Amino acid sequence: MKNLSLVLAGENQSDFLTTFVPIMRYVLFGIIIACALVLIITTLMQSNDSNNGMDAFTGASQESYYSQNKGASRDGILKKITIAMASIIIICTILFFCSLLINTVG
């Protein structure tokens, strides 16, 4: 009966909280840093398409094989990597702060 009261009072933390959660925070932080570096590099490697906005006003749109298969090109692949890295950063950041909440509550 005494053990149950200690658990309910929050004085006895489980082994999961004391061992796994700090390790998980270090891993999540490492993933965030690695993805941030990849995100910066892929963003800088993308080409600058500043004329696409003006094409709507001037009516100068050229249909070419390159514009139809933009997803398979270098810029398309870099765009997909950028979106994936940003998504991973968001998910890992949410998990990181949830692990902080679990540690303070537990």
Per-residue pLDDT of the chain (106 residues), as tens digits, is 444 544 555 555 567 677 888 899 999 999 999 999 999 999 999 887 655 555 556 655 566 655 566 666 888 899 999 999 999 999 999 999 998 887 676 5
Sign of torsion over alpha carbons 72, 76, 81, 86: negative
**Pairwise CA distance, residues 38 & 40, whole Å:** 5
The model carries a pTM of 0.67
Count other Cβ atoms within 10 Å, centred on residue 81: 17
- Residue 34, token pair as written in the block: 């690695």
Residue 48 C-alpha from the chain's centroid = 23
Q: Which pLDDT value is given to residue 5? A: 47
Q: How many CA atoms lie within 13 A of 78 on its CB side?
A: 13
